[in-house]
Chain A
Amino acid sequence: MGDWMTVTDPESKTISQHTSETKMSPSSLYSQQVLCSSIPLSKNVHSFFSAFCTEDNIEQSISYLDQELTTFGFPSLYEESKGKETKRELNIVAVLNCMNELLVLQRKNLLAQENVETQNLKLGSDMDHLQSCYSKLKEQLETSRREMIGLQERDRQLQCKNRNLHQLLKNEKDEVQKLQNIIASRATQYNHDMKRKEREYNKLKERLHQLVMNKKDKKIAMDILNYVGRADGKRGSWRTGKTEARNEDEMYKILLNDYEYRQKQILMENAELKKVLQQMKKEMISLLSPQKKKPRERVDDSTGTVISDVEEDAGELSRESMWDLSCETVREQLTNSIRKQWRILKSHVEKLDNQVSKVHLEGFNDEDVISRQDHEQETEKLELEIQQCKEMIKTQQQLLQQQLATACDDDTTSLLRDCYLLEEKERLKEEWSLFKEQKKNFERERRSFTEAAILLLKILGRSLLGIRHSSTVSRYGVRRQCNQGYICCLKRNILNSGIFKNIFILDWFGWV
């Protein structure tokens, strides 16, 4: 039999109160029974009895119980019925047996329940244990994984180091090989030289032996017909201390000459380089100084320094040109000023570059800056124009040549002739006017000359007449002849002088 637990039931009253109020159907009572199975039996005793069966429903409850029991496999509670309609009598034995069976069953169930409960508890504790084990293992896994990663990292580093060491080893081996090769080549060279020397030594030994053995040896001498004079014609001199000193002097002179020559060369080079530097500096200054005249938007402080530098450098230039010596200070000044200028120039060029890039970004706002494309377009246009003009000139030339070479039709020729005639006419007109002017001038001159000639003739005439009157016939004749000669001469001269080309005047004189 099962273990009966005696439990005090403080709550039984309340439960019984609760359950006595409601009248429940047998099925619901049964379900309640199942629900309350965990509650100790002593508690439910009162409630069951009062709830299920009362004075009123004994028959119903018996039949119900019988039904239930038969469904569960128990024998029936009723006695075997003799007839169909007779009331079935309750089989007490069966009832008692059933009750006993039920009690046994109950005990078994309780046992089973206890077992199940203990098992449940065991399982619960097992589960907890397993869970704790699981969490511990998970932690272990994590730590071991981290350890593994660390070890892998170390392994990688060691492999890297290993590779490097291998490489170093290879390099060292190569170097060793190279040195070995060098040693080998040196060794062969040494051996070769050694062998050569040994051969020479052997030959020497042989010769020595020969000489020692050979008593009479060939005479070492020079056989010369006559001695030749020295190349420079001078006589040989004795070797004395003076000659030694002279030789030393000569040697030092040669050396000094060479050094002086080289120094001159170097000085010349230096002067040239200095000139170049000076020029560079001047050019740099000139490059930078015009900037201060153009007012630019982006003027900054450097122009101020440029101006000051220009003034400074102008002073320096004059100073340097005065002292054209190779003294340290001048040299340093020059190089420093060149460096300064170069720096300024560099910064300026950089600024220009920036400006150019800015302009490209912003667009062509500045008038001075012409874009490359525009420039190219302009040049193309100009080239085209030049081409066209050239072609025009060519065609015109061709036409002209054609005109001159080939025969044209009459109209054009007459036109041309007219044109030419017109030209001629014009020219002739000009010449005519010129000629007229000249004529006028000539006439004027002529008049003046005729007047002068008339005067002259009058004087001559008077003088001749005077002579005629005063002289005798012979003399007169001679005189006349003379006078005539004079007049002829005069005439000839006057005629030859070409003053009186005008026939009218000559007529008037009666000479023609």
Chain B
Amino acid sequence: MNFSEVFKLSGLLCKFSPDGKYLASCVQYRLVVRDVNTLQIVQLYTCLDQIQHIEWSADSLFILCAMYKRGLVQVWSLEQPEWHCKIDEGSAGLVASCWSPDGRHILNTTEFHLRITVWSLCTKSVSYIKYPKACLQGTTFTRDGRYMALAERRDCKDYVSIFVCSDWQLLRHFDTDTQDLTGIEWAPNGCVLAVWDSCLEYKVLLYSLDGRLLSAYSAYEWSLGIKSVAWSPSSQFLAVGSYDGKVRILNHVTWKMITEFEHPAAINNPKIVVYKEAEKSPQLGLGCLSFPPPRAGAGPLPTSESKYEIASVPVSLQTLKPVTDRANPKIGIGMLAFSPDSYFLATRNDNVPSAVWVWDIQKLRLFAVLEQLSPVRAFQWDPQQPRLAICTGGSRVYLWSPAGCLSVQVPGEGDFAVLSLCWHLSGDSMALLSKDHFCLCFLETEAAVGTACRQLGGHT
């Protein structure tokens, strides 16, 4: 694994272009576009205010930079650096901004979610969508970019509207049987829309593309409900993570639960591999002074190495006792992600924040558990193969694959605290983001490793 040098960054805004050739990053009010292979600066744009959000258009030709405080969106072109576009929402304010799948329309959500304005870069037309719902995931586009689903709320009732992205025509408009809709998401095949309710009621509704209700699923009543939802890339499964610490998998044929995955703090099955991260004690040379060992409360040693040890079953993981009288308690399944081949599902139980559970979907059972030394901040699957990258806010990045796992220290002077990470679409490299910097990590592909071995063989 090779690491690039460290570059400046602000706001964790670092995105690869959809075609994988460029990397856009923000430093305060400047947008820097680099080439992915050489990391040379290709373009440098200056915006009018501190950038809060950047997004590439789907064809990798344009980048939008949103400045919510000023209510401005600026769009830059990669092909024509002198081209500029500025959208001022003025008194309407701006809380969110995103591209449409064709890369020629920008959807701005005004303050208080009063309306969504659809600005066109091709024509002078402007469209308005009223009453969008102010929820976590109110708009979702199909993978092929044809349709957009939007959650709305009128007269204390939830509705979903389906628009055709090519001409913004309203295709379907139907109400949903939810108390307070929190999120909607298209299945990767673009034919089914999953709609789920807020955590006060466990309800998942599945609608077909033409607005028919296919199925409604509710696991239990009264206790806090759904926390996270994820579709499998093959559209065969819908994983629903809830506050009771279980993930329920629904299948696409009957839309009924086929299994539920529990996340207990104690693991007894010997077939499961449990990786525990352990600090490697630093080797002291004979001539070195032996420093007094650091105090227990001093925090993790910044430059110490760590490795994974396989813990023998039964294992009990560290749990966090949540404060019961606060809203949004830290219990339940907060993070869910399927691997790109749908073979694995990675989950995090917020009760046990340092552990990542990896489930085998073929056999529908727990495959491996990784326990880190600090709470897991983010994990993301490699877009090409079942390889999971995890970061915990320390200066290490962790990689897991069915063959094993490893922990890599990010080199560099000082403490590079990895707060987030982002894979390149080819799976060859990964961007590691910290508060003020980012660096690129290049992973050896199998082909590269193979040629290296062959070369070695040739020499000897």
Q: Report the stretch among A215-223, A292-300, A311-319, A412-420 that lies at the interface.
A: A215-223
C-alpha spacing A230/B104, complex, angstroms: 6
Q: Which residues of B contact A247 (CB under 8 A)?
A: 164, 167, 169, 171
Q: Closest CB-CB distance, A237 to chain B, in whole Å?
A: 7
A211 at the interface (CB under 8 A from B): yes
Which of B80-88, B343-351, B420-428 contacts the other chain? B80-88
A211 to B93, CA, bound (A): 12
Alpha-carbon distance A218/B326, docked complex (angstroms): 41
Cβ of A182 within 8 Å of any chain B Cβ, yes or no, is: yes
Q: A255, B85: Cβ atoms under 8 Å? A: no
Interface presence of A188 (CB below 8 A)? yes
Of all chain A residues, which has the CB nearest B327? Answer: A192
Q: How far is the CA of A221 from the CA of B253 in the complex (A)?
A: 48
Select B327's contact among A179, A181, A188, A203, beta carbons within 8 Å.
A188
Given A204-B112, A221-B88, A255-B191, is A227 in contact with B224 using a C-beta cutoff of 8 Å? no
Q: Spot the interface stretch: B30-38, B118-126, B151-159, B430-438.
A: B118-126
Whether the pair B122, A230 counts as a contact (CB closer than 8 A) is yes
Contact of B224 among A185, A248, A251 (CB under 8 A): A185
Partner of A220, one of B85, B86, B90, B324: B90
Residue from A211, A227, A255 within 8 A of B122 (CB atoms) = A227
In the bound complex, how far is the Cα of B324 from the Cα of A184, in angstroms?
Answer: 9
**Do A231 and B209 touch (CB < 8 A)?**
no
**In the complex, B283 has a CB within 8 A of chain A:** no
Q: Assuming A232-B102, A250-B146, is B84 touching A225 (CB within 8 A)?
A: yes
Q: Give complex CA distance A225, B126 in Å.
A: 17
Q: Which residue of A lies closest to B172 (CB)?
A: A251
Chain B residue with the shortest CB-CB distance to A238 = B167
The 0/1 profile, CB within 8 Å of A marked 1, for residues 101-122 of chain B is 0111000000110000001011
Q: Is the CB of A222 within 8 A of B85?
A: yes
**Contact bitstring A165-182, B, C-beta under 8 A = 1, else 0:** 000000000000001011
Question: Are A189 and B104 neighbours in the complex by a CB distance under 8 Å?
Answer: no
Asked whether, in the complex, the Cβ of B167 is within 8 Å of the Cβ of A188, the reply is: no
A228 contact set on B, CB distance < 8 A: 62, 77, 83, 104, 121-122
Interface string of A136-162 (1 = CB under 8 A from B): 000000000000000000000000000
Task: Say yes or no: A184 contacts B325, CB within 8 Å.
Answer: yes
Residues of B within 8 A of A373 (CB): none
Complex CA–CA separation, A262 to B92 (angstroms):
46
Which residue from chain B places its CB closest to the CB of A252 in the assembled complex? B210
A258 at the interface (CB under 8 A from B): yes
Contact, CB under 8 Å: B169 / A189: no
Residue in contact with A222 in the complex, picked from B86, B111, B209, B326, CB distance below 8 Å: B86
- B304 at the A/B interface (Cβ < 8 Å)? no
Give B177-196 as 1s and 0s: 1 = Cβ < 8 Å from A's Cβ atoms.
00000000000011100000
- Distance from B60 Cβ to chain A, minimum over Cβ atoms (Å): 11
How many residue pairs, one in A and one in B, have C-beta atoms under 8 Å apart? 123
A444 in contact (CB, < 8 A):
no
Q: Which of A181, A190, A192, A258 has the most CB of B within 10 A?
A: A258
Give the interface residue-count category, chain B. Answer: 35 or more
Q: A189-B328, A228-B122, A250-B146 are in contact. Are A207 and B111 (CB under 8 A)?
A: yes
Q: How far is the CB of B202 from chain A (nearest CB, A)?
A: 12
CB pair A182–B210 under 8 Å, yes or no, is no
Q: Would you call B329 an interface residue if the criterion is a C-beta within 8 Å of the partner chain's C-beta atoms?
A: yes
A224 to B253, CA, bound (A): 48
Query: Given A189-B200, A255-B191, A218 and B88 touching (CB < 8 A)?
Result: yes
Residues of B within 8 A of A226 (CB): 83
Given A188-B327, A220-B90, does the pair A258, B191 have CB atoms closer than 8 Å? yes
Q: Does B254 contact A (CB under 8 A)?
A: no
**How far apart sit A343 and B11, CA to CA, in the bound complex (Å)?**
69
Bound complex: CA A222 to CA B146 (Å): 25
**CB of B91 within 8 Å of the partner chain:** yes
Point out the residues of chain B lying under 8 angstroms from A211, CB to CB.
91
User: What's the least CB distance linking B61 to chain A, in Å?
Assistant: 8
Closest to A227 in B: B122
Q: How far is the CA of A371 from the CA of B8 in the complex (A)?
A: 79
Does B208 interact with chain A (Cβ within 8 Å)? Answer: yes
The complex places the Cα of A472 from the Cα of B227 at a distance, in Å, of 131
B222 contacts partner chain A, Cβ-Cβ < 8 Å: yes
C-beta contact mask, A188-204 vs B, less than 8 Å → 1, else 0? 11111100000010011
Residues of chain A in range 225-246 having any CB-CB distance to chain B below 8 Å: 225-232, 236-237, 239, 243-244
Residue A349 lies at the interface, judged by CB distance under 8 Å to chain B: no
A217 contacts B91, C-beta separation under 8 Å: yes
Contact B112 A230 (CB under 8 A): no
> Complex: how many Å from CA A179 to CA B221?
11
Q: Is there contact, CB below 8 Å, between A224 and B169?
A: no
A207–B112 CA distance with the chains assembled, in angstroms = 10
A186 close to B (CB within 8 Å)? yes
Minimal beta-carbon separation of A234 from chain B (angstroms): 9
Identity of the chain A residue whose Cβ is nearest the Cβ of B74 in the assembled complex: A223
- How far apart sit A181 and B222, CA to CA, in the bound complex (Å)? 11
B103 near A231: Cβ-Cβ < 8 Å: yes
Q: Which residues of A contact B126 (CB under 8 A)?
A: 222
Q: How far is the CA of A234 from the CA of B200 in the complex (A)?
A: 47
Q: Which residue of A186, A203, A232, A236 contacts B200 across the interface (Cβ within 8 Å)?
A: A186
Query: Given the known A-B contacts A217-B90, A231-B103, A251-B171, are A189 and B123 also in contact in the complex, defined by CB atoms under 8 Å?
Result: no
Does A399 belong to the interface (CB within 8 Å)? no
Given contacts A224-B85, A251-B210, A255-B210, contact A185 B102 (CB under 8 A): no
A254 touches B (CB below 8 Å) = yes
User: Interface 1/0s, chain A 453-478, versus B by CB < 8 A?
Assistant: 00000000000000000000000000
B59 at the interface (CB under 8 A from A): yes
A185 in contact with B324 (CB, 8 Å): yes
Cβ of A225 and Cβ of B83 under 8 Å apart?
yes
Please determine whether A182 and B327 come into contact, CB atoms closer than 8 angstroms: no
Give the residues in chain B near A262, CB-CB below 8 Å. 252-253
User: In this complex, what residue of B is CB-closest to A222?
Assistant: B87
Complex contacts, A251 vs chain B, CB 8 Å: 147, 164, 171, 209-210
> Is B169 within 8 A of A239, CB to CB?
yes
CB closest residue in chain B, given A219: B90
Assess whether B92 is in contact with A220, with CB atoms less than 8 Å apart: yes
Q: Is the CB of B104 within 8 A of A220?
A: no
Closest to A195 in B: B327
Residues of chain B with a CB closer than 8 A to A223's CB: 85-88
Q: Do A229 and B209 have beta carbons less than 8 Å apart?
A: no
Considering the chains assembled together, what is the distance between the CA atoms of A244 and B329 in angstroms?
Answer: 46
Interface residues of B in 329-381 (CB under 8 A from A): 329
Asked if B89 CB lies within 8 Å of chain A CBs, one says: yes
Also in contact, A190 and B200, with CB within 8 A (given A230-B102, A231-B103, A251-B171): yes
Cα–Cα distance between A250 and B126 once the two chains are bound (Å): 25
- Knowing A232-B102, A237-B167, A254-B191 are in contact, say whether A227-B123 is a contact too (CB < 8 A): yes
Knowing A220-B88, A255-B208 are in contact, say whether A181-B324 is a contact too (CB < 8 A): yes
Beta-carbon contact of B210 and A189 below 8 Å: no
**Which residue of chain A is the closest to B126 with respect to CB atoms?**
A222
10 A-B pairs (CB sep. < 8 Å): A182-B222, A188-B325, A222-B85, A222-B86, A222-B87, A227-B122, A228-B83, A231-B58, A243-B167, A258-B190
Which B residues contact A (CB, under 8 angstroms)?
Answer: 58-59, 62, 77, 82-93, 102-104, 111-112, 119, 121-124, 126, 146-147, 164, 167, 169, 171, 189-191, 199-200, 208-210, 222-224, 252-253, 324-329
Given A219-B90, A220-B90, A236-B122, 17 new contacts (CB under 8 A): A185-B224, A192-B327, A203-B112, A220-B88, A225-B82, A226-B83, A228-B62, A228-B83, A231-B102, A243-B167, A247-B169, A247-B171, A251-B164, A254-B146, A254-B190, A254-B191, A258-B190
| Nearest 3 A/B pairs, CB to CB | A192-B327, A218-B90, A220-B90
List the interface of chain A (C-beta within 8 A of B): 179, 181-182, 184-186, 188-193, 200, 203-204, 207, 211, 214, 217-232, 236-237, 239, 243-244, 247-248, 250-252, 254-255, 258, 262, 266
